[in-house]
A and B are shown apart, each in its own frame.
Chain A
């Protein structure tokens, strides 16, 4: 870890935890928990084996929803980018659906997937899918629509077309923007999974937050929040690393 970025960050966290500690001084379980109580609670849920199970459940749902969104969103977005007619037809629709919070779909998702074998997983996955799909399709569309005309013409000039054009020119040219979209989407997906797990499911970090609240174990709530933060940070770091290695390998390291 680079000490020039690590040390200031450590100071920031320390200041925050300090204020948190002071603000919650003298609170008991059932009130807003302080950092110490949170850590004890964290160890507690970890010991019971619940924490691990909930982490796996949330990560599993995000992995499925996000992958499906990428699998459908990238090719569809690139097609929209390449064919203006298709874009004119569907992009306004996409942009109209985009501002609807995926959480608003939750009641319908529960109806749609209710009664199936994996109903709780499916509705959460569906919400994750929605949350990740829009940033992915939007970035893929604009990446292709804004392809540098010089690249397109160079390819045309050398008779490189069709699938070969797509593989050798369009995809690599669009890659930086698509990766940025994926990273953004993963961040949103992680935010949404917690909300998606507050209704109709019995696992996951979102469920842990809701269930602990109902049991008045506020220390478990804040423990879940800490875990959510740490995993979110890890996911983003991993995604940033994927982004920079993928680009560096193609001579497009960002400066």
Chain B
């Protein structure tokens, strides 16, 4: 078996935000490699720069120094091949579910073709019958499903997930975790999930990158040896959780 190919390579990335008052250094020489088709989780303390790193990878923010290559080429900006799923939701309240999911498909596509694609992803995320609904008529979990469908509809190779379940209630969150694993297994995208929830990282990912406090680096990347489907309460998962918590420097009480 050959080494899996690198999809994204982050080399020595520094990022400083300059505000009116002062400069905030967020990333302090981050190195990270994301493999083709893997599910990578990035965990770290709140405010350490996880979203910043993800925004840089997506091309929304420019790095201060260092480089980020995707498929061996430096990124120049956002692209439809790599779609971002936002914390809370980035879907448009003024568009119906159908229009939101079709948003990225472009004006030139014929209606029939567009309809076929939109319906395919409505089915994938289980929102049959809600095509005409507007976001304010949907629950938080359903909105997040719309956003996943909108992202998947353009058939990207990479999904950037920035705490996509952060705003959901505990029950919906568990349901959506199962859903995203299902989507990932079905579509084989490279998924990069930012979360502050270690259990979520352990349940979902192939590997976990642990970041330090700000200014942040990636402290280490841990393989997740547990086979799917996973139960976060079995011994393998708990061991991994402890390992991550130890790196994060948090005493874990059972």
Contact = CB atoms under 8 A, between A and B. Distances in A.
A175 B136 contact: no
B136 A251 contact: yes
B80 A252 contact: no
A144 to B, nearest CB: 15
B135 A251 contact: yes
25 contacts: A151-B92, A153-B84, A153-B86, A154-B84, A154-B90, A154-B103, A156-B60, A157-B82, A157-B84, A158-B83, A158-B154, A159-B79, A159-B106, A160-B103, A160-B104, A168-B103, A169-B92, A172-B92, A173-B94, A250-B93, A250-B95, A251-B94, A251-B95, A251-B135, A252-B136
Nearest to A171: B94
A157 B80 contact: yes
Interface residues of A, number: 19
Given A153-B78, A157-B78, A251-B95, 20 more contacts: A150-B86, A150-B90, A154-B84, A154-B86, A154-B103, A157-B58, A157-B84, A157-B104, A158-B83, A159-B79, A159-B104, A159-B106, A250-B93, A250-B94, A250-B95, A250-B134, A251-B96, A251-B135, A251-B137, A252-B136
A179 to B, nearest CB: 13
A151 B100 CA distance: 12
B107 interface: yes
Nearest to B58: A157
Interface in A167-222: 168-169, 172-173, 175
B117 to A, nearest CB: 14
Interface of A: 150-151, 153-154, 156-160, 164, 168-169, 172-173, 175, 250-253
Nearest to B147: A154
Main secondary structure of the interface of B (DSSP, over half): loop
Interface size class of B (residues with CB under 8 A): 20 to 34
Contact of A158 (B103, B134, B137): B103
Interface string B224-235: 000000000000
Contacts of B106: 159
B80 A164 contact: no
B19 to A, nearest CB: 15
Contact of B83 (A157, A164, A172, A173): A157
A252 B82 CA distance: 29
Given A160-B103, A252-B136, A253-B136, A175 B94 contact: yes
A96 B134 CA distance: 41
Nearest to B90: A150
Contacts of B86: 150, 153-154
A243 B93 CA distance: 16
Contacts of B83: 157-158
Interface string B162-197: 000000000000000000000000000000000000
A154 B107 contact: no
A153 B89 CA distance: 12
